[in-house]
Amino acid sequence: QPKRGPEKAAVVLEEEQRQALSQEKGIQAHLEQRTVLTKTLAQMTKLSRVKLMTFCRSAHSGRVEWQMYACLVCTAVNHMDHLTSHVQEVADATQELCVLIFSSYKEKLTCICK
């Protein structure tokens, strides 16, 4: 026996809710990863500032130390650029997931209401 309109709508909405909850878990994981990356980036920035202050205090000791410091700073900057890029990728992916969830939900509701 075919399902009536309200029963069919309830089944579709329950399935949509399950999918949305699954997608929510994925988004939550992305946000947690973004938080960790942001904290790591802040720590790296702080570390590079500490190294800069250390260098300024001991700058009189010569060129070799400057070269070593320059290498450390370049490494830290490269890591920070990578983290910043990764944070942006996670943010973009999260935004895309939210848009997909909303459009899918809207599309399903439109189909049900017709």
Q: What pLDDT shows up at residue 105? A: 75
Does residue 70 carry a pLDDT above 70? no
Q: What pLDDT shows up at residue 17? A: 85
Residue 4 φ/ψ, nearest 5 degrees? -80, 165
Whether the model pTM is above 0.95:
no
Does residue 72 carry a pLDDT above 70? no
Q: How many domains does the chain have?
A: 1
Query: pLDDT tens across 84-101, in order?
Result: 777 777 777 777 777 777
Task: Identify the domain containing residue 87 by its residue range.
Answer: 5-113
DSSP conformation letters of 38-86: HHHHHHHHHHHHHHHHHHHHTGGG-HHHHHHHHHHHHHHHHHHHHHHHH
Contacts of 62-69 spanning 24+ positions with Cβ under 8 A:
none
